[in-house]
Structure 1
Amino acid sequence: MLIRLRRLAAHPVVLWGAFLATHLWLGYLGLTQANDPFGDVTNVYLPWVQQSLDGFRLGIDGPWVYPILAFLPMLAAMVLGPGLYGIGWVVMVAIADAAVFAYLVVRRRGAGNDRRIVAAWWWLAFLLLLGPVSIGRIDIFTVDLVIAGLLVLSTRPAVAGVLLALATWVKVWPAALIAAAVIAMRQRLRVAVAALITLVGVAAGAMAFGSGMNVFSFISEQNGRGMQVESPASTLWMWLAFAGDHSQVFFDQQIITFEVTGPGSALAAKLMTPLLVVAVAAILVLAFLVVRSGASSTVVLPPLALALVTALIVFNKVGSPQFMVWLSAPVILGIVTQGRRFFVPALTAFVMGALTQVIYPIAYDWVIGLDPVMLTVLTVRNLLTVSLLVMAVAMLWQSRKTTPREVEDDARGLFRGTFRGAVTRR
Structure 2
Amino acid sequence: MNRLRVTPGPVLALTSLWLAGRALMLWLLVHDSSPLLGGGSVAREVRRLYFHWYGVLAHGSFPAQDTLWQYPPGAGPVLLAPGLLPGLTYFQAFVTLTLAADALIAAALLRAGTRPGRSLRGAALWAGGLPLLLHVPLARYDIEVTALAVLCLLTVARSPRGGGVLGALGGLVKVWPALALLGTPPGRVTRTAWSWAATAGTAALGLLALSFNDPFSFVREQGGRGVQIESLGGTALNLARHAGWPGRHRYQYGAIELIGPHVDAVAAASLALTATAFGLLVLWRVRARRWTEATPFDAALSAVLLFTVTSRVISPQYMIWLLGLAAVCLTSRHTSQRPVAVLILGASALSTVAFPMCYQDVVDGTWTGCLLMLARNALLAAAAVLSFVRLWRAARPPAVKNLPRTEPRPVSDRLPDRALTAS
Q: Which residue of 2 aligns with 1:19?
A: 18
In 2, Cα distance between equivalents of 1:170 and 1:136:
17
Counterpart mapping for 1:366-377 below 5 A: 366-377=361-372
CA contact (8 A) 1:127 1:325 kept: yes
- Deviation at residue 130 of structure 1 after TM alignment: 2.1
Q: Which residue of 1 aligns with 2:106?
A: 101
Matched, 1:88 2:93: yes
Q: Which residue of 1 aligns with 2:315?
A: 320
Q: What SS is found at the alignment partner of 1:284?
A: helix
Q: Which residue of 1 aligns with 2:415?
A: none
Distance 1:90 1:224, change over 3 A: same
Counterpart mapping for 1:23-422 below 5 A: 23-34=22-33, 35=38, 36-53=41-58, 55=59, 57-58=61-62, 64-79=69-84, 84-106=89-111, 110-112=115-117, 115=119, 117-178=120-181, 180-182=182-184, 186-209=188-211, 211=213, 214-252=214-252, 255-290=253-288, 294-338=289-333, 341-401=336-396
Amino acid at match of 1:93: T
Deviations 1:72-119 (A, max 9, x none): 222222356797332222210111122222222248864345x1x221
In 2, Cα distance between equivalents of 1:302 and 1:32:
36
Q: Which residue of 2 aligns with 1:3?
A: none
CA contact (8 A) 2:145 2:174 kept: yes
CA contact (8 A) 1:145 1:163 kept: yes
RMSD: 2.7
Residues matched between the structures, number: 386
- Deviation at residue 386 of structure 1 after TM alignment: 0.8
In 2, Cα distance between equivalents of 1:10 and 1:107:
14
- Deviation at residue 219 of structure 1 after TM alignment: 2.6
Deviations 1:305-355 (A, max 9, x none): 222111111111012111111112331222112357433111111101000
Which structure's residues are more often helix, by fraction? 1
CA contact (8 A) 1:59 1:68 kept: no
In 2, Cα distance between equivalents of 1:155 and 1:56:
37
| Percent of pairs with identical residues | 24
- Unaligned runs of 5+ residues in structure 1 are 1-5, 404-426
Q: Which residue of 2 aligns with 1:422?
A: none
- Unaligned runs of 5+ residues in structure 2 are 1-5, 399-423
In 2, Cα distance between equivalents of 1:62 and 1:274:
27
- Deviation at residue 377 of structure 1 after TM alignment: 1.4
Deviations 1:215-247 (A, max 9, x none): 233233211111100011211101112444212
CA contact (8 A) 1:207 1:215 kept: yes
Amino acid at match of 2:250: F
Q: What SS is found at the alignment partner of 2:175?
A: coil
* Higher relative contact order, chain-length normalized (CA < 8 Å, sep 6+): 1
CA contact (8 A) 2:326 2:341 kept: yes
- Deviation at residue 7 of structure 1 after TM alignment: 5.8
TM-score (norm 1): 0.83
- Deviation at residue 402 of structure 1 after TM alignment: 6.0
Bigger Cα displacement from structure 2, 225-234 vs 324-333: 324-333
Q: Which residue of 2 aligns with 1:413?
A: none
In 2, Cα distance between equivalents of 1:384 and 1:155:
34
In 1, Cα distance between equivalents of 2:150 and 2:228:
27
Amino acid at match of 2:388: V
In 1, Cα distance between equivalents of 2:311 and 2:222:
12
CA contact (8 A) 1:321 1:356 kept: yes
In 2, Cα distance between equivalents of 1:92 and 1:203:
23
CA contact (8 A) 1:42 1:85 kept: yes
Q: What SS is found at the alignment partner of 1:225?
A: coil
Deviations 1:377-409 (A, max 9, x none): 110110111111110111112113466xxxxxx
CA contact (8 A) 1:299 1:402 kept: no
CA contact (8 A) 1:46 1:82 kept: no
Distance 1:321 1:9, change over 3 A: farther
Q: Which residue of 1 aligns with 2:408?
A: none
In 2, Cα distance between equivalents of 1:355 and 1:156:
37
TM-score (norm 2): 0.83
